[in-house]
């Protein structure tokens, strides 16, 4: 049985006072656009008129996928462990952006098909050396699902204990666009064809093959496709379920969650299926280059902060968006109001 989460929607009673503070900053009403929306959301999460961002943390979760054996990705699974080691040397995009924006990076092996237990800098939380091939059987057992969920929960608890109140999550897992596409199709009620893209760089023939494999997998798993929890377990990756656990626990602790591109949006979508209130704690940061991502964001009714054409993963879009979130907090805390600035309120 899945752990029970107690996620409360932010109390809306402060909304009027927050809006009055935003509207009385010395600027035309609404002139700072999405910054005002972000400030409102964070103030509601923290239940304050003076929000803070403290000790930002980034979880980089690694795992391999059995479906990769079906040739649905242009990259071989060896790239997963090779990149995980590269991250420990500080050479990845995620490392650069974490350094730039002051994030504490945790690199976590949740299910990589390689022995990384002796690699300094990698937290060993391996459940198995990759999931099973969901073309033929469920990707994970009940016990493995709950372990993966607990990995995310425990990591967030560690971050929170250090004073973190804003979290971003990234992934490293060859072929994880495949379960993401299936979740998108099932949870957004869209044809699977509209949810499948090139991943790390498939050509047209490769995309057609991927579509055929995933369609066959969904048809074989028809008995579970009406149950969100069963779908997450049947198709998901260990790193993806850990991300879901992290999101749910972060919301339970009233932390801000920065959601990255296609795969992390799919994880957010899955988390919302399990606990709808988690949505209130999420800031969607980036519209990625994967086919279908815009449709998924539209189905959630959200507008991401950035559209940079990124498709690296690793949570890089969320990290790039952090300064915008910081600007929203600085706006409401540091801008003067009309009265103190001796400016006539002109609206």
Q: Would you write out the chain's pLDDT as a tens digit for each of its 347 residues?
A: 889 999 999 999 999 999 999 999 988 899 999 999 999 999 999 999 999 999 999 999 999 999 999 999 888 999 999 999 999 999 899 999 999 999 999 999 999 999 999 999 999 999 999 999 999 999 999 999 999 999 999 999 999 999 999 999 999 999 999 999 999 999 999 999 889 876 667 788 888 999 999 999 999 999 898 899 999 999 999 999 999 999 999 999 999 999 999 999 999 999 999 999 999 999 999 987 666 888 899 999 999 999 888 888 899 999 999 999 999 999 999 998 867 766 666 65
Identify the pLDDT of residue 204.
82
Mapped onto helix, strand or coil, the DSSP state of residue 273 is: helix
Identify the pLDDT of residue 337.
80
Of the candidates 234, 257, 82, 81, which has an alpha carbon nearest to the alpha carbon of residue 165?
A: 257
To the nearest 10°, the Cα dihedral for 334, 251, 33, 260?
110
Of the candidates 340, 335, 344, which has an alpha carbon nearest to the alpha carbon of residue 22?
A: 335
Of the candidates 269, 256, 267, which has an alpha carbon nearest to the alpha carbon of residue 299?
A: 269
How far apart CA 334 and CA 151 sit, in angstroms, is: 38
Beta strands in 56-103 (DSSP E): 57-63
Identify the pLDDT of residue 336.
86
Which of 32-49 are b and which e, b meaning 16 or more Cβ less than 10 Å from the residue's Cβ? beebbbbbbbbbbbbeee
The two structure tokens encoding residue 2: 């899945």
Give pLDDT tens digits for 134-144.
999 999 999 99
**Cβ neighbour number for residue 286 with a 10 Å cutoff:** 29
How far apart CA 140 and CA 75 sit, in angstroms, is: 22
User: Is 70 labeled as catalytic in the residue annotation?
Assistant: no
Identify the pLDDT of residue 338.
63
Give pLDDT tens digits for 93-128.
999 999 999 999 999 999 999 999 999 999 999 999
What does residue 122 show for φ and ψ, rounded to 5 degrees?
Answer: -110, 125
Identify the pLDDT of residue 37.
97
Of the candidates 36, 239, 290, 314, the residue annotated as catalytic is 314
What does residue 146 show for φ and ψ, rounded to 5 degrees?
Answer: -65, -35
Give pLDDT tens digits for 282-317.
999 998 766 688 889 999 999 999 988 888 889 999
Identify the pLDDT of residue 291.
66
Of the candidates 52, 43, 53, which has an alpha carbon nearest to the alpha carbon of residue 11?
A: 43
Identify the pLDDT of residue 49.
97
């Amino acid at each position: 049985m899945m752990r029970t989460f107690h996620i409360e929607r932010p109390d809306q009673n402060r909304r009027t006072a927050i809006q009055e503070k935003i509207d009385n900053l010395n600027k035309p009403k609404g002139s700072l656009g999405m910054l005002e929306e972000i400030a409102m959301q964070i103030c509601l999460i923290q239940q304050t008129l003076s929000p803070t961002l403290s000790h930002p943390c980034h979880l980089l979760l690694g795992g391999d996928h059995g479906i990769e054996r079906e040739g649905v990705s242009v990259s071989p699974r060896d790239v997963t462990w090779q990149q995980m080691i590269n991250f420990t040397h500080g050479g990845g995009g995620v490392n650069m952006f974490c350094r730039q924006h002051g994030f504490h990076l945790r690199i976590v092996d949740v299910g990589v098909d390689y022995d990384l237990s002796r690699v300094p800098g990698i937290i060993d939380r391996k459940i198995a050396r990759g999931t099973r091939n969901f073309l033929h059987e469920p990707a994970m057992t009940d016990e493995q699902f709950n372990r993966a969920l607990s990995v995310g929960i425990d990591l967030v608890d560690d971050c929170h204990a250090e004073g973190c109140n804003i979290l971003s999550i990234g992934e490293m897992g060859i072929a994880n666009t495949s379960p993401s596409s299936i979740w998108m199709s099932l949870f957004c009620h869209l044809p699977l064809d509209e949810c499948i893209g090139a991943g790390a760089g498939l050509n047209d023939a490769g995309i057609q093959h991927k579509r055929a494999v995933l369609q066959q997998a969904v048809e074989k798993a028809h008995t579970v496709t009406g149950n969100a929890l069963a779908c997450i377990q049947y198709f998901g990756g260990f790193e993806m379920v850990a991300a879901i656990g992290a999101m749910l626990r972060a919301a339970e602790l009233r932390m801000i969650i920065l959601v990255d591109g296609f795969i992390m949006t799919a994880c957010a979508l899955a988390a919302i299926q399990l606990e709808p209130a988690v949505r209130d704690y999420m800031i969607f940061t980036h519209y990625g280059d994967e086919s279908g991502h815009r449709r998924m964001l539209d189905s959630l009714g959200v507008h991401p902060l950035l559209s940079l054409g990124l498709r690296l993963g690793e949570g890089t879009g969320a990290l790039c968006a952090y300064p915008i979130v910081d600007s929203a907090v600085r706006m409401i805390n540091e801008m003067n109001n009309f009265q103190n600035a001796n400016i006539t309120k002109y609206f």
